[in-house]
Amino acid sequence: MSDSAESSSIGRCLIGAPVVYVMEVSMRIAICASDLDAIKTDLRLAHPEIKPSLRIEAAARALGYNTYGGLRAALEKGTIEAEADDARYREILGLSAETNKRCAVRPVGRALARIELRKVLDHHPNLTCRGFDSIWFNVSGERSLPINERKELLATRRREAYDDDWSADQFELAWIYLSRQERTATINRRVGSYGLKHRAEGLSRNFDLFEHLGNYVSNGMLIAAAYAHGFMVKPVGHDDYNAYFNISMRTVKVTYGRDGEQLRENRQHIDRMYGDIADRMAA
């Protein structure tokens, strides 16, 4: 669906008309054969105690194929659309769905999220969970440290964004939030990435959706999700973590979570905008 067609659907839902989305939006991404090694590595790190052959066969089924051979054959023909069914992965391997540290056990879903996230990070080497990052920012007095220490701290933050499970979940929650936001022709300076990250968190915190992804989104993962969706991204300043996007206040406003009547009214809009995604992702 084109951006204009999607925006039209979103606009109709805001005025209360029932909408049947023909575009299925979730953490469904395009993968190619070269992505298999990254998926295998992520699964090994998640469950090193399980034999590699069992992990990848279960992952293939979680991605909609009967066998790993079937998955490989499909990838040899070209790019495929992939969406993870982690409930099936857990069932095949006898894994518990109980939370692991912050969020649910969902290694295949995280592997797919990382494929998209790492593409963004590779293209934007100054992006960390903080946002646009630099050794020259004076957060917590870091600029008083020797330059080698500052470089190592920045490298550590890059690794956290690149590999941490929590970062992948934050990215996915931000990705879902932005997937149903309208775009404008120009940059909107009325709301920045830091404000929007709270709106993304609100899907879980205020509206009880996508709770398996946690209820926190860092500023940097919101910016990364905006890049992944193709939003126009403009840094607020040369020494600022935050960014502006070409995002419409029309759809941003209905994702505010407040007490009382506004919360109840906005919950109806949220259900129309994101309810079908939540149903698809329910395990």
100 pLDDT above the threshold of 60: no
Of the chain, the percentage scoring pLDDT greater than 90 comes to: 70
174-181: average pLDDT = 96
Lowest mean pLDDT among 12-16, 28-32, 123-127, 226-230: 12-16
User: Measured between alpha carbons, how far is 11 from 28 in angstroms, rounded to an integer?
Assistant: 23
pTM of the entire predicted model:
0.87
**Would strands 127-128 and 131-132 be described as parallel, antiparallel, or unpaired?**
antiparallel
Predicted local confidence at residue 90, as pLDDT: 92
User: Measured between alpha carbons, how far is 216 from 23 in angstroms, rounded to an integer?
Assistant: 26
Tokens representing residue 259 in the block: 């007490």
Predicted local confidence at residue 276, as pLDDT: 86
- The radius of gyration of the chain's CA atoms, rounded to the nearest angstrom, is 19
194-213: average pLDDT = 92
257 pLDDT above the threshold of 70: no
Categorize the per-residue pLDDT at 261 as very low, low, confident or very high, splitting at 50, 70 and 90.
low
Predicted local confidence at residue 98, as pLDDT: 72
245-255: average pLDDT = 93
What does pLDDT average to over the chain? Answer: 87
User: Measured between alpha carbons, how far is 35 from 117 in angstroms, rounded to an integer?
Assistant: 13
User: Measured between alpha carbons, how far is 140 from 157 in angstroms, rounded to an integer?
Assistant: 15
149 pLDDT above the threshold of 90: yes
21 pLDDT above the threshold of 50: no
Lowest mean pLDDT among 171-175, 227-231, 260-264, 269-273: 260-264
In 3D space, the residue among 3, 111, 4, 2 whose CA is nearest the CA of residue 47 turns out to be 111
Lowest mean pLDDT among 72-76, 194-198, 271-275: 271-275
Cβ neighbors of 22 (< 8 A, separation 6 or more) are 1
195-212: average pLDDT = 92
Predicted local confidence at residue 264, as pLDDT: 74
Long-range CB pairs of 2-11 (<8 Å, 24+ gap) are 3/183, 6/180, 7/182, 7/183, 7/248, 10/180, 10/181, 10/182, 10/251, 10/273, 11/182, 11/250
6 pLDDT above the threshold of 50: no
In 3D space, the residue among 274, 266, 278, 275 whose CA is nearest the CA of residue 16 turns out to be 266
